[in-house]
Amino acid sequence: MIISWISPETLSQQFALCGVTEASYVVVLTDNLVTDLVQANNQDGLQKLGCRVDIFNIQWNQKETTSIKLQSESLRGALTQADLVIDLTNSLTNEILENSPLNQKRILCIQTSEFEPYSHSMTSAGVLQRSNRIHTLLLNTDHISINSEAGTNLMFGIDALSHDSYTGVPKGEGDLAIWPTGYLNFSADATGLEGEIVLMPGDIVNDALHLVKSPVVLQIRGGNIIEIVGESSDANLLKAQLESFADREHAYMLKGFSIGLLYFRGDCFSGPFDPKKVNAIDTTLRGGWTTLNFGNDIANSLAVTLTSPNLLFDNVEVFLNGDFAATMEPDIYELALMGL
């Protein structure tokens, strides 16, 4: 049986991964846009763990902003005691977090999704396992390579990289984790990087939510795009997006890459040009796919996702042709949770 990821059963499993136990106190933040079903399922999921729960509506109005709501005496008191805060509103900006008691709390932001398979059982258990495996591999890795049969060829020295993982589980005080999610982000000093990125049909230009139709080659020298080879509308789109970036000095600079950790079967797409593929990027990056990011520390000038890459840590295969290699494949327990 496939259980909807928004069901109390799956929510309960995710809350347990976030450290909720019978002794925990959890505050749930909601507003007028959150459906009764979503709110009830979250409450039921917490009750399955036997913890104490309070729900607060932080809907803003003409008299009170969300920030003011968070400063109310009753909510401030609850947040002081809370072991975990669950946000159903998706309205907590960085400014709100920094200027409220939430800046010292572990927060789980739950995002509903109609996209399969994120509407199925998508706890963070498998993502955490893969993230831990990768962190273990990194301890004995000198180089990370991204390549493809089409000709992509990039190699990063480990000393030029820093990384952070996003698993859907808040790490500590002041950390907001979005769920479902699963990816590792690597920031790179690509000053000496030389190579090529070959975009093939079915690859994705993220900001444009555009599926590439014809091959395009990005030639990289000194960490910058020096030439875009291709006569198609895809090449013109890439050139236009880079040229429109205000920071001309960093527009063409490769600043890092992200690797997906979420597992789902490739046959959920009808083919390379299935429009649903654009739902499997950014924070919900499909396991086996790799996103390359250009721009400065504040914003991307360009982000492109390779859907058939190979990823190697030295000689250890992590991705093969856009899927998990044997080192990253889900175990039988994760497959069972997803009804597979």
Q: What is the domain partition of the chain in residue ranges?
A: 8-110, 125-167+179-337
Give the strands of the sheet with 254-260, arranged side by side: 161-166, 183-188, 254-260, 290-295, 300-306, 204-205, 210-211
For position 241, what pLDDT does the model report?
96
Contacts of 54 (CB under 8 A, 6+ apart): 25, 26, 27, 28, 78
For position 327, what pLDDT does the model report?
86
pLDDT 10s digits, 158-175: 999 999 999 999 999 989
The low-confidence residues of the chain, meaning pLDDT below 70, are 1-5, 113-121, 266, 337-340
For position 261, what pLDDT does the model report?
94
Contacts of 230 (CB under 8 A, 6+ apart): 214, 215, 216, 217
Q: Which of 34, 25, 297 lies closest to 188 in space, CA to CA?
A: 297
What CATH architecture applies to the domain 8-110? 3-Layer(aba) Sandwich (3.40)
- Mean pLDDT for the chain? 91
For position 330, what pLDDT does the model report?
84
For position 75, what pLDDT does the model report?
93
For position 2, what pLDDT does the model report?
39
Identify whether the C-beta of residue 18 lies closer than 8 Å to the C-beta of residue 170: yes
Beta-bridged to residue 163, according to DSSP, are 186
